[in-house]
Amino acid sequence: MKRPHPGSRGLTQLFAVTVLPLTLLLLVIAFGGVTMHQQDMRALVGERDERAVQSSAAALQSELHHRMATITSMTVLASRDLAFDEIFATTSDLANDFNGGVAFLDPDGIVLAHTGDGMFWEWVSQNHSFASSSDREPVFSAPILDPNSGQLFVIVSAYSDSRNVIVAGALSPEILAAETLATTYPTDSHVIIYLLDESRRLLYVSGAFAQTSLEPDHPGVAEALKGNSGVLYVKKEDAEHVVAYSPIQAAGWALITEEEWAMVISPSLQLTQMAPLVIVPAFILALIAIWFGAKQIVQPLQKLESKAAALAWGDFESIKESVGGISEVQHLQMELTEMSRKVQSAQDGLHDYIGAITSAQEEERTRLARELHDDTIQAVIALKQRVQLAQKSVKDQGGKQSLKELETLAEQTIENLRRLTRALRPIYLEDLGLVTALEMLARETSENNHLAVNFKKTGQERRLSREVELSLYRIAQEALNNVVKHSEASHADLEIAFESDETIVEIMDDGSGFLVPNSPTEFAPNGHFGLLGVHERADLIGARLEIESALGKGTRLTVRL
């Protein structure tokens, strides 16, 4: 199992720690300061617009209260039996307060007296209603479009109980808003202003980019008509707009203002916001330096590290492939290549020695299995037969029981010797082939231990050379022994797959797992002598060994031939 070496990470971290953090810190500070400045400006514009719209709404509210008070005072004068012309004369600024005129009407809507356009009042009396005797305060009508002038008017009316007349005044909300809001929002202001009644009809619009009609869900409208005031930040196209809103409760109107808050920032402040961009070239240079270091140093070293790890697992060819990079990295690779040549030469001799030892070991196992089968087992069988004969001549019941126990012990000894003989010399392997031998190995391991071993074969079975089949069998045997002795597993799988270009043997278990050494050289120091033997057997037949394991997650051992 190959693992990344910490050297490449350390070198990458060295590059990352030298230039990039400082540059990023400067960028974060610079652009962070710009961002904080923008957020503060955004909040300041929002607070300013909120105060402005509240002040403007209060001014409109005051003007409307003034006109309501004028209408109320005229109802009081009407109760004194003064002539209508006298009442008109005693009330100043009627023309300014009610640019559509003032009229007295009877409860049936007949115009008794008026100022302004008589045709307008005749049309209003016939098409619209006024305050009734149940209204205690002057009331506002819905917007009325004068058919003659095409101008929009709102009627403020009140009922006089003592004289049984209605006093009504017509005012243009557009003119009222223009005059009242001019001090807060000059004509050259880029702020968009909307004045709406409770039916969301536009009474007044101002601003170069103002819309002639508003969507039902336009920001701030619903809130203002509910009597709330505040500010919203709305994303429109590529800019963020500040929408401030406030109610005008006397008439049930809503005042909405909208502007792009970035337009408020002066050109000098915008220039200061661009100042941090001077750090960008330094950042680009840092990225180029890091890119060059990664391309010419880090990446070649990472490739070299991977090839060195493969070299540790016995792959002597991969180290010869050039990794590129700067001359120092190439010189290092040349030294590693020379070292691998010497190691390979020494390992070839070691492999011959290990091969001879392994062959001698198998020969000794065969000899020992033959002696056990021909001598020891036959002797125990003869002993068992003598015991059986002795049982027939013994009359004493106690003696017969003792001989019976001796016979049982002889049978167990024969079975154990036969199992030992099969382990030393797998006769199924010689007679029936690798698949049958592995299947019998899985079955015997399950029967003799508290471990369920499942065997599986895939692909079309084919015979391999005697040495290869014996090595694969011994690898599986050693792996299952390790599972039984060390893994504390309850289940294991033994699989063999015959593919078109390779043969794969896998042993998996659900045991406790272990930490796999980084290279085969660490097997012996860590006490993994069985794995060392497995690795050597796989190496002798030219197979590739893969070990995957983690603590608490079981182990997978794969041999690819």
Question: Averaged in consecutive runs of 10 residues, what is the pLDDT profile of the chain (561 residues)?
Answer: 45 58 67 70 85 92 91 86 83 83 90 90 88 84 88 92 90 91 80 90 84 81 91 85 92 90 61 59 72 76 77 71 80 81 69 65 70 77 81 78 83 80 69 84 86 90 85 87 87 91 92 82 70 82 87 90 90
Beta bridge partners of 506: 495, 558
pLDDT at 517: 80
For residue 534, give both structure tokens: 């497995």
10 Å Cβ neighbour count for 328? 11
Of 338, 336, 344, nearest to 303 by C-alpha is 336
pLDDT at 194: 92
Q: Is 503 exposed, middle or buried (0-12, 13-18, 19+ CB in 10 A)?
A: buried
CA distances, 238 to each of 38, 234, 241, 262, 269 (Å): 16, 11, 10, 11, 20
pLDDT at 488: 87
10 Å Cβ neighbour count for 321? 10
What is the total residue count of the chain? 561
CA distance 102 to 169: 4
Element (H, E) at 55: helix 20-78
